[in-house]
Amino acid sequence: MMGDVFHVVFYEPRIPPNTGNTIRTTACTGTSLHLVEPLGFQMTDAHLRRAGLDYHDLAHVEIHPDLDTALEALPGRVFAFTGHASTFFTEISYEPGDALLFGPEPDGLPEHVMSHPRITQRLRIPMRPGVRSLNLANSAALATYEAWRQHDYAGGV
């Protein structure tokens, strides 16, 4: 495992299976998951637990009462993922401590979050025109694996 070298941050997530699936992804990659309240579900939600299966004990999940508290807990750069950016997520050289910030379903990050002074840069995941967005868990997985790939899947088998 990478020892929580990278951080995935969900700002006010609403759909339990997306967070459950991301708990599983972060357990498999050694990254941390940070959830910014309010959450659209309880952490005991059956859909969340089913999606995360038995990975909850293997994952590092922190819940923060607000964005500022979450950002204070993150040591490195913070990349905001949005369809309103021109830089592809694969164009960045990720560094240990970087955070990958994603907004709630279905609207994504609000402008006041993307304008926060801790946001290093806005990034996008490319997709075909006319398609609204990828699933939140899929977006987080793509970005997490790209950051980890750039570090030769350190700690992976």
d(CA 101, CA 76): 12
The H or E element spanning position 81 is: strand 78-81
156 is in an annotated binding site: no
d(CA 11, CA 70): 9
Alpha helices, H only, the chain: 16-29, 46-52, 67-72, 111-114, 136-149
**Residue 121 main-chain phi, psi, to 5 deg:** -165, 155
Tokens found for residue 70: 């979450």
Q: ∠ CA(104), CA(32), CA(58), 5° rounding?
A: 115
103 is in an annotated binding site: yes
86 is in an annotated binding site: no
Binding residue ranges: 103, 125, 133
Binding residue ranges for S-adenosyl-L-methionine: 103, 125, 133
